[in-house]
Amino acid sequence: MVSVPALPFPFPLRVDEAALLVIDMQRDFVEPGGFGESLGNDVRPLQAIIPVIADLLALFRQQGLPVIHTRECHRPDLTDCPKAKRNRGDPPLRIGDDGPMGRLLIAGEHGAGIVDALAPIAGETMIDKPGKGAFHATPLGDELVAHRITQLVVAGVTTEVCVQSTIREANDRGFECLLVTDATESYFPAFKQATIDMLTAQGAIGGWATSSGELMEVIR
C-alpha cells in the first residue's frame, strides 16, 4: 500500500488491486459535431483534459496496471434507450439522429468511438453502457471481481453526470474510488467543483480526489 495525497485525506492506494477507469472520452462528447455540442455545449474544456488522461494511460500501461474504458452508446434500434431519456428536453438533435459523425450515441458509429489520442490498446477492457453509470446493465462489476480489483482511479467526462454516477455506483458496491481532478471535466465548471466537494465531503462519503501529478509521482 502507498499513500496518495488527496482530499479529504490521503488515499491508501493498493497498486495491485487498482485499475484506471476512463469514462466516456468519446467523440460525441468531446469533439465538435457530436452529441455534447448538439445540446449547446462548448466542448473545448473537455478537449483540454485529453493530454492529462493520455499521461495517465501511458503510466498505467508502463506499469502493467489494468485499464478500463467506457462508452455511453445504444443499440441501433434504440431498444436499450428509454423514451424518457431520448425525448428529454428540446435539443435540435436527439440520441439516434444523424449527425456529422454518424448517428448520435449509437454503437459502432464514428462519434461513439473513443478519441484517437486515448484509444484502447489490446488487453484493455471496453464497457459499452446504456446509462450514465458504468455498472447499470453492464458486466463491469463482474469484470472487477474476476480481476480482484477493489479500487478505481477515475478519469473522464462529464464530472457531474457519468463520472459521478459511476463513482456512486462503485461506492455502493464496496469499491474505493479516487477521482483525478485534472483528468475530469464538465461543460459547467461550477458543476465539476460541486461534484468534487460532494464526493469528498463527510470523510470521503463518495470517494477521494487528487491531481494527476500527485498520483503519478506516487505510482512511479
Please write the tens of the pLDDT for every residue from 152-166: 999 999 999 999 999
Helix, strand, coil proportions of the chain in percent (round to 5)? 40, 25, 40
* CA proximity to 179, closest of 143, 204, 146: 204
For the question of residue 128 being annotated catalytic, the response is no
**Distance separating alpha carbons of residues 140 and 157, to the nearest angstrom:** 18
Structural domain range at position 56: 2-219
Whether pLDDT at 68 is above 90: yes
Q: Kindly name the residue from 28, 129, 132, 192 that is annotated as catalytic.
A: 129
Higher pLDDT, 145 or 89: 145
DSSP E strands in 56-193: the ranges are 67-72, 98-99, 102-103, 125-129, 151-157, 176-185
For the question of residue 162 being annotated catalytic, the response is yes
Q: Kindly name the residue from 73, 81, 162, 177 that is annotated as catalytic.
A: 162
Please write the tens of the pLDDT for every residue from 13-51: 999 999 999 999 999 999 999 999 999 999 999 999 999
Number of domains in the chain: 1
For the question of residue 98 being annotated catalytic, the response is no
For the domain that residue 99 is a member of, what is the CATH number? Answer: 3.40.50.850
Whether pLDDT at 90 is above 90: no
For residue 116, give the 3-state DSSP assignment: helix
Which percentage of the chain shows pLDDT scores above 90? 98
